[in-house]
Structure 1
Amino acid sequence: MSKGVTTHLQAHDGYPGIEIIWAADCRQAFNQGVKLAQAWLDNAKSGWLWAAMIAERDLLPCAIERRAFEVGFLSRIHQRICSHQGSDEQSRSVPLTL
């Protein structure tokens, strides 16, 4: 198992990105979560948000990958929600270790 593997969520919708350091390589699961959330947002919010997340998350084989997927998914949703609140923050990476 690798240690200190970093994932990056790029700034989006005018809201800053984030850098997350995982104990294992979770980049693929994290990116899957981000992509699914973006697809849900772009598709006129068809279907229930929670159902989309759970259905895809449960396909992942281990707990840390499921957690990475959730963090990626919810981070993209968070960026969209906060962008509509008029965030004054500049786009920057915020380090976080999980």
Structure 2
Amino acid sequence: MSKGVVTLLPPHDGHPGMEITWAADCRQAFNQGVNFAQTWLDNTRSGWLWAAMIAERDHLPRAIERRAFEVGFLSRIHQRLCSPRQGGEPVKAVALRL
């Protein structure tokens, strides 16, 4: 396992991105979360957001990967909710260490 692996959430919907440093390489799980949230946002939302997240997250084997998926998923949803296009407040870019 590597230490201090950086994952990037790109800007989206007019909202800035962010940088997250993980104790292990969680980039794939994080990106899966981001992509799954984007798919949910782009398609007709026929199911509950929380149920979709939990069902997909539970396919990951390790707790840190499940956490990375959740962070990626909720970060993309946050970007949409806080988007200036959606009437949200602009937020400055941040860097997190998890």
Report the TM-score when normalising by structure 1.
0.92
Instruction: Compute the RMSD of aligned alpha carbons.
Output: 1.2
Percent of aligned pairs with the same amino acid: 75
- Give the match's secondary structure for 2:82: helix
Q: 1:88 to 1:51 in 2, by over 3 A?
A: closer
Corresponding residue number in structure 1 for 2:97: 97
Deviation, 1:73, is 0.1
Residues 1:63 and 2:63 aligned together: yes
State the one-letter code of the partner of 1:35: N
Deviation, 1:94, is 1.6
Q: Is the 8 A contact 1:15 1:87 kept in 2?
A: no
Corresponding residue number in structure 2 for 1:13: 13
State the one-letter code of the partner of 2:5: V
Q: Is the 8 A contact 1:40 1:46 kept in 2?
A: no
Q: How far, CA to CA, are the matches of 2:43 and 2:63 in structure 1?
A: 28
- Give the match's secondary structure for 1:95: strand
Structure 1: 4+ residue segments shifted above 6 A = none
* Residue-pair matches, total: 96
- Give the match's secondary structure for 1:12: coil
Q: How far, CA to CA, are the matches of 1:88 and 1:64 in structure 2?
A: 29
Point out where structure 1 has 5 or more consecutive residues left out of the alignment: none
Q: Is the 8 A contact 2:82 2:90 kept in 1?
A: no
Q: How far, CA to CA, are the matches of 1:4 and 1:93 in structure 2?
A: 19
Q: How far, CA to CA, are the matches of 1:67 and 1:86 in structure 2?
A: 26
Report the TM-score when normalising by structure 2.
0.92
Once the two structures are superposed, what CA deviation does each residue of 1:15-58 show, in whole Å capped at 9, x if it has no partner? 11010000000000000000000000000222111111001100
